[in-house]
Amino acid sequence: MRTIRLNDGIAQVAERYEEWAEAFVEVNGSSEGKLHRPQWLQLNNEVHSWMTEGQINALFTGYTTKVKDDGIDLTGFCKMCQATTEGTASLAKFANIPVKDFEALAD
């Protein structure tokens, strides 16, 4: 297992969401930096195997567009993981699409 070196903000996220943070580090190689689409797909297929590739892609596109970035950092990843525990309405907000459209991607 890798040693996680964290700044204060990332340390707080990692402590609260230890399992998700460890999964992020496993795929990304560190707690810093961002997941790009290939790593994002890989990680979500492992952590949220119930989500379809369409939903996973919608989350990536919606989130990165909203935050104007080309990847998802540890904090963003953990926030989206938390949204999976709250239901499709929360996930649709991250995907930046209506709930019915997010749910339709499950088919």
Both structure tokens of 69: 């970035």
Mean pLDDT, the chain cut into blocks of 10 residues (107 residues total): 47 68 89 91 85 94 95 91 89 95 93
Residue 10's pLDDT is what?
53
Q: Exposed, middle or buried by CB within 10 Å (0-12, 13-18, 19+), for 79?
A: middle
Residue 17's pLDDT is what?
75
Residue 91's pLDDT is what?
94
Residue 60 lies in a domain: yes
Residue 40 lies in a domain: yes
Residue 11's pLDDT is what?
58
Residue 1 lies in a domain: no
Containing structural domain, residue 52: 8-104
Residue 81's pLDDT is what?
87
- Number of domains into which the chain is organized: 1
Q: What is the three-state SS of 61-99?
A: HHHHHHHCCCCECHHHHHHHHHHHCCCHHHHHHHHCCCH
